[in-house]
Structures are given as C-alpha cells and as structure tokens.
C-alpha cells in the first residue's frame, strides 16, 4: 500500500506542479519539468489533492448552533470559526512540515510553533533495579506526527494542537484503527493499545511502566505524549491567558481524545486548566465505558466528535458485547450530509455492518457524488471539487464508509451545515 501511495502522490504532484497534463507534456518536450520534492512546501499528500483548500472560512454563522462557539470573543480570534479552524488544522496535519508551516504562517496569519515527528514503540526490554526500572528502548519508526500553533506570537489567546490522522495508503495506520487490543490502565479503564503506542507507550503489558510520569529519552527520538506535553507546558507559561484546543481527524482524533486523559493521569493540571476543548473528526472509539466515564467526570473537558454520514472509522473498533466493548464518549455532532448537523446520542448504524443500512449508505454515496459535481456552482468556487476528489467519491460506490471518511466532507459539513440540538 505504501508503495502504491507513494507513486500515486508523486504523479499527482508532478501533474499539479507542472500546471496540468497538457503543460506537463510541454515541459517534457522542452526539458523543463518541475520534479516534486517530498519535503517542499508545495508538495501535497493524497489528502491534500482531494481537498487543497487552505484559507479559513471567516464566518460566525454557527455560533447559535454549536455550544462550543457561544463566546468566541473570549479567545480573541475575531471572525475565525473555531470549528473550521480545528478541522482545517486536522486536515493540514497530513502534510509535511514545510507545508504546515506555510499554511499557518502565510495563509492563516498565525504563529507556527513546531512540527513534531515522533517515534512509535515496537518493543521494550525492562530491567528492574533499585530505582524501580531501567528502560532500554527499541523504537520502530517515526510514525506519529503533530503540530502546534498559536493565533499570535505574543500574548496569544489560542493554542492549537493537531494530530495527523490515518493516511489512506498506510496499512499500519488502518490496522491500528481496526485492532481490538487494549490495555488496562487502572482507574482509567481499558484504552486501545495501538493508540497508546502511537502516543509513546513504553511497555505494552504494564501501563504504569509504559507511561511513567517522567521520561528521559533521546532528543532525536521523541515520544509524542512527552514532547507535546513539554511544548504545551512551555507555551502556557509564555501565554498566560491562552486556551488550548486539541484536534485531529481519524487516527489523529483518537490521539487527541486520549492525550488529555494522560495529562490528567499525571496531574498536569496547569495544562488541563488551560484547555478549551477537544474537537475530533471521524474519530474511532478509543476505550471502554470506564474510560469514557473517566473523561467525562474526572477530566471534564468539552469533547465534540464530528461524524459524517456513514463514515466507517468512527464505527470501529466495534461496540459488540461481549466480543468488543469499545465505547464512544463526549458530544456527537452527526452530519447527515453537508447541510444538516445534529447533536445525537448515537449515530445510525453504530457498528457499520448492519444490513438494514446497506441501501441508505449507497444512496448517500450516490447523492454526495452527484451533488459534488455541481457544488462549486451552487456554493461558490471554494467548494469546487478536484478531479481527484471526484475519483475518490467514486470509491464510495464500492465501499461507502471509506469515501465518507474524507476530511473534505468534514470541512464542508462545518462550513455549510447548521448544527442543532437533538
């Protein structure tokens, strides 16, 4: 999958950077082809070619529909919509560091703090000593990415942490999403093992040893939780009145959901007291009912989960007792298309494979495809879909749950839908 994805991304960037297929042919003839470089600011991921929008949607139209938006003036971002900003950050998190910095600095006119390329845990040998443990690391690869930015360089009102999500051609990411393994953490209940590893778990058998409060690792191989915790701790000292929003799409949403729980477990009250809320998009389930109760009663943060139509990822891992006991928590905002959003207790077809939803899922896939062909004409050029996006929607005619997972639909939902309470 990775090989196919790399070739597909290279071809898409080759065509885009040379001005289209016809211009590419001309550049080949004239020996002036622009060769894509993966680390350049103009190199886009497959996600970026589905939806290349970078500008924020400057509208407060959702204030009356979304409780988190009630008093946006308190965090001093003017006409920027937090829902749109968090989703755009979650979408841009799929890109390389140079692209991300360019988006934050030149398009959003905000202050870029840093891009974090962190290592995932493969295995860990533990030797008990007088000091209780001596951790010998065996790291697999830098597989977890995130970035942080502020709305201003000085006296910032808002700090945003965005985690990268499931990459379309990354088999490891998809296997993590569907994995049913979890780890008992004690008072926090059971949490998805793969997501904990992505945040930096150091022992997959013992949570207390796997996530000690302090970690003294090597700077060139940072673990996500510790690196991001340190960065946020420094930022809230620099920006005394700033509020933190944590966001992510897909796998990124899962990491965003778990991150505050680990802060609470380690009594990082300074960071938690500065948090405004967690906003996730297409987030899979991350733990059991005990974990959900811990988040809602102990951490007590505003947590909003956006779900678009029959997106398959928020419906996995499964909630099918006694085989699987994963549960969602927080407030679910369900988009039944781009124009309708509603606060719901449970989204339809909660485990995806219910036969009674087969026809509605395929009907929705056809409906989105047909409307997408004319969306630019009906809603403005900002909503015009690329050829790549249309091709991706065609995949929904085969597996609709995959097509509904596109960040584009979450951006469209946030910009077009009126979100009402159930």
Which residue numbers are catalytic? 250, 311, 405
Using only the alpha carbons of the chain, give its radius of gyration: 21
H-helix or E-strand containing 277?
A: strand 275-281
The closest alpha carbon to 306, from 57, 90, 60, 63, belongs to: 90
Strands 303-308 and 190-192: unpaired
Counting beta carbons within 10 angstroms of the beta carbon of residue 357, is it exposed (0 to 12), middle (13 to 18) or buried (19 or more)? Answer: middle
DSSP state letter for 283: P
Q: Residue 119: phi, psi to the nearest 5?
A: -95, 145
Residue 147: its H or E element? strand 134-150
Burial class of residue 131 (count of CB atoms within 10 Å of its CB; 0-12, 13-18, 19+): exposed
Q: What is the DSSP string of 31-62?
A: T-PPPP-TTSTT---HHHHH----S-----TT
CA dist 324 to 10, 250, 288, 421, Å?
39, 20, 9, 30
């Amino acid at each position: 999958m990775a090989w196919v994805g790399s070739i597909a991304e290279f071809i898409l960037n080759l065509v885009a950077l040379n001005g289209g297929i016809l211009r590419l042919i001309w550049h080949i003839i004239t020996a002036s082809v622009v060769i894509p470089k993966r680390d350049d600011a103009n190199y886009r991921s497959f996600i970026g070619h589905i939806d290349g929008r970078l500008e924020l949607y400057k509208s407060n139209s959702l204030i009356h529909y979304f409780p988190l938006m009630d008093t946006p003036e308190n965090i001093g971002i003017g006409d920027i919509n937090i829902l749109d900003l968090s989703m755009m950050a979650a979408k841009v998190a799929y890109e390389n560091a140079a692209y991300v910095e360019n988006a934050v600095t030149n398009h959003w006119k905000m202050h870029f703090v840093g891009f974090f390329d962190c290592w995932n845990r493969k295995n860990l040998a533990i030797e008990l000593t007088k000091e209780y443990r001596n951790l010998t690391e065996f790291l697999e690869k830098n597989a977890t990415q995130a970035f942080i930015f502020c709305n201003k360089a000085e006296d910032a009102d808002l700090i945003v942490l965005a985690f990268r999500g499931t990459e379309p051609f990354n088999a490891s990411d998809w296997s993590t999403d569907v994995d049913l393994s979890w780890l008992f953490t004690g008072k926090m209940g059971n949490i998805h093992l793969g997501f904990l590893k992505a945040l930096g778990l150091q022992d997959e058998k013992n949570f207390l040893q796997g996530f000690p409060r302090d970690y003294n690792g090597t700077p060139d191989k940072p673990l996500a939780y510790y690196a991001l915790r340190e960065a946020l701790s420094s930022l809230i000292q620099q920006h005394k009145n700033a509020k933190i929003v944590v966001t992510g799409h897909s796998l990124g949403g899962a990491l965003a959901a778990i991150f505050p729980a680990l802060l609470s477990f380690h009594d990082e009250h300074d960071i938690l007291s500065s948090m405004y809320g967690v906003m996730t998009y297409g987030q899979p389930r991350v733990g059991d009912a005990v974990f959900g109760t811990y988040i809602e009663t102990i951490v007590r943060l505003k947590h909003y989960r956006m779900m678009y139509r029959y997106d398959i990822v928020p419906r996995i891992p499964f909630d099918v007792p006694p085989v699987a006991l994963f549960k969602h928590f927080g407030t679910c905002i369900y988009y039944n298309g781009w124009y309708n959003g509603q606060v719901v207790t449970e989204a339809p077809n909660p485990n995806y494979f219910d036969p009674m939803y087969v026809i509605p899922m395929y009907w929705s896939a056809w409906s989105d495809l047909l409307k997408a062909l004319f969306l630019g004409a009906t809603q403005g050029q900002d909503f015009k879909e690329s050829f790549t996006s249309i091709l991706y929607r065609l995949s929904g005619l085969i597996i609709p749950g995959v097509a509904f997972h596109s960040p584009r639909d979450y951006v469209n939902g946030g910009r077009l839908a009126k979100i009402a309470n159930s």
